[in-house]
Amino acid sequence: MTLPRIDSESLFNVSGKVAIVVGASGSFGQVVCATLGNAGCKLLITGGNGDTLAKLGKELAEAGIDTAAVARRPDSEADCDAIVAAALEAYGCIDILVVASGINDVSPIVDMEPERFQKLMLANVDGAWLIARAVGRQFIAQGRGGKVVFTSSARGKLGHPAGYSAYCTSKSAVDGMTRALGCEWGKYGITVNAIAPTVFRSPVTAWMFEDNDHANAVRAGFLARVPLGRLGEPEDLAGPLLFLCSAASNFHTGHVVYPDGGYTAG
């Protein structure tokens, strides 16, 4: 018997890679920065709030993570070109794009103005498409592949009775974009995948982890659908993210990965 020669350590090695993190100051964006930064990536962090971004950049630098920042959201072609230009000016190339930005707006469809729907779609779909377009052009020009990771949600696969028509639609669109670009860019060695968490510990969801009647009732109802029987932690997202950004996923494209404790399996 001849065992295959597999270098398990190098499979997940992203040290020295250059990653653009869009929406870096958000809950998932901070998980991305900590995961990739501590694994040795150089980070170009983006976001719309310059002060918040500067604070995050300082924290990352103090942790020994090589970080540059540009206070832009991917709202237009010009914004996305500026983000790419900032990464190239700082580091000379791009290896990884993680789109961690996004918003939610909960409302019954009959009460939601079209403008609110369009704002959510701009943030969750248009921005992801625009920045993928800009970075994809750079990946193709570099001629050595690349990694794209979008942020989806369990709501891209499952509906919800509490006014999620806009959000579910946007995340289903992200899933479709993931599959389409996975097919379109395969010939360039560019992998395109999405990570789709459900509830994980963050400032936004901290109330669900509290011990009070309301939180306990909401949590119990949610956990009834989670086979592993607990809410997520940031560490639960780090492993799948590192997989999707590293050579370990070189034959994995056009897929949505669900670090959700089995929530979408039921």
Q: How far is CA 231 from the centre of its chain?
A: 19
Residues 177 and 1 sit within 8 Å (Cβ to Cβ): no
Nearest Cα residue to 256 out of 184, 156, 123? 156
Nearest Cα residue to 241 out of 139, 181, 152? 152
Helix (H) or strand (E) holding 173: helix 165-184
Give CA–CA dist 83/133, Å, rounded.
Answer: 12
197: its two tokens: 């968490």
Q: What share of residues in the chain are helix, strand, coil (percent, to 5)?
A: 50, 15, 35
Residues 181 and 132 sit within 8 Å (Cβ to Cβ): yes
Instruction: Name the 3-class secondary structure at 183.
Output: helix
Give CA–CA dist 22/254, Å, rounded.
Answer: 20
Give CA–CA dist 12/169, Å, rounded.
Answer: 33
Identified catalytic residue from 164, 167, 258, 263:
167
Give catalytic status of residue 167 as yes or no.
Answer: yes
Residues 248 and 142 sit within 8 Å (Cβ to Cβ): no
Q: Any idea which residues carry the catalytic annotation?
A: 167
